[in-house]
Amino acid sequence: MLELEEIDIILNMSQRQGKISFYMPSFGEQATTIGVGAGLEDHDLVFPQYREQGTLIWRGYIVKDMLNQCMGNTHDVGKGRQMPIHYGSKKLNFVTVSSPLSIFFQLKIIFYLKLLATQVPQASGSGYAFRLNNENRVSATFFGEGAASEGDFHAALNFAATLQCQTLFLCRNNKYAISTHSSEQYKGDGIAGKSIGYGVQTYRVDGNDAMAVYHVVKQAREYIVKNQKPAFIEFMTYRIGDHSTSDYSVLYRSEEEINFYKQNNPLTRLGLYLKKTGKRQFDEDKDKLERENIRKQISQALKEANETKLHGVNSLFEDVYDNLTPNLKEQQKQLIEHLKEYGKHYKLEKLQQ
């Protein structure tokens, strides 16, 4: 959680300094994402929304991987095709982040808004496959309380319930979808109330309590594989940071409100627990040093990632299909010829040969 917080702080700053084009921190929700990571098995397939870097870090994604993705360089397994923070790792059973963005211009600030919950019903499909294969495996999908207003959320829960999918729905209810407060998002009893209506085993938990998150995820997971049925968890938490680096959240909520949650944040709570129970020896100087070390590592990785080349021209055409189709072959040839003559007008030196 500490590492995650440092990464969020520094990458958020890096965006402000123009080193990366976009970032979304997970301040306030670290207990939820790390707790889920700990409660799941590593072979469970995760369909993320976008603010779940904690789960990915728990599984072994390192800051270098994150930075390579944010820079879109040749070390990025996504080949530089998506915006920053759209992580994915086949190796870590973490499906690539997607969801189209819609851009709103307001007060000269660009808000990037993730509108969709597209990954949620996809997780129902995978969960069906796991049941059919009799696997001890669940398909877990994250989404915010805003995304739960999308049609896809309703499709997902209804399909999972009627078709008995081994799917775990993980709703991060952090009170805001960008500027929209949850009171403008729904009138029922949160998202859990809807889940119950679909006949899905439902839990609600304090998302700022890492221990509670861990235990409820473990329990829900057990329920799923034992009964071959889906389960749903609503994590009550608070989005301490801005929605994204393109957002300035005091325009629509008070600083007092933010400060209240800052003081009661998940890191402080877990720290207090460890202190009281004596499970960890606290040495402030040592902790400071630890944080500094993490920062140094991140700066070094940032420098390296920045200096790495981007994928070459051909990469632009690959993976649209399994093989290049005739139209793509033709367009590839045209582009290469164009660049031969006009290459000096493009920043080709950034690309790998």
Closest-CA residue to 319 (of 47, 65, 81):
81
Instruction: Give just the sign of the alpha carbon dihedral 9, 10, 12, 17.
Output: positive
Neighbouring C-alpha atoms within 13 Å toward the C-beta of 87: 29
CB environment 206-229: b (16+ within 10 A), e (fewer): bbbbbeebbebbebbbebbbeeeb
Shorter beta-carbon distance to other proteins: residue 155 or 211: 155
Shorter beta-carbon distance to other proteins: residue 122 or 201: 122
Report, in Å, the least distance between residue 335 CB and other proteins. 15
Residue 162 per-residue DSSP state: H
Q: How far apart are the first and last CA of the chain?
A: 39
Shorter beta-carbon distance to other proteins: residue 105 or 321: 321
Shorter beta-carbon distance to other proteins: residue 164 or 297: 164
Shorter beta-carbon distance to other proteins: residue 72 or 144: 72
- Rounded CA-CA distance 68/74 in Å is 8
- Rounded CA-CA distance 294/292 in Å is 5
| Contacting residues for 227 by C-beta, under 8 A, at least 6 apart | 201
- Rounded CA-CA distance 328/65 in Å is 30
Q: Give me the residues that bind other proteins (CB under 8 A), please.
A: 45, 47, 76-79, 81-82, 86, 88-90, 95-96, 98-100, 116, 118, 120-130, 132, 139, 151-152, 154-156, 158-159, 162-163, 318-322, 325-328
Report, in Å, the least distance between residue 46 CB and other proteins. 12
Contact between 270 and 31 under an 8 Å Cβ cutoff? The reply is: yes
Shorter beta-carbon distance to other proteins: residue 86 or 239: 86
Indicate the SS3 state at residue 252. Answer: coil
Shorter beta-carbon distance to other proteins: residue 41 or 319: 319
Report, in Å, the least distance between residue 87 CB and other proteins. 10
Shorter beta-carbon distance to other proteins: residue 79 or 218: 79
Report, in Å, the least distance between residue 128 CB and other proteins. 6
Cite the beta strand spans of the chain per DSSP E. 45-47, 101-106, 109-114, 139-144, 167-173, 176-177, 180-181, 201-206, 231-236
Report, in Å, the least distance between residue 134 CB and other proteins. 11
Report, in Å, the least distance between residue 6 CB and other proteins. 27
Report, in Å, the least distance between residue 88 CB and other proteins. 5
Neighbours of 64 (CB within 10 A): 16
Report, in Å, the least distance between residue 256 CB and other proteins. 39
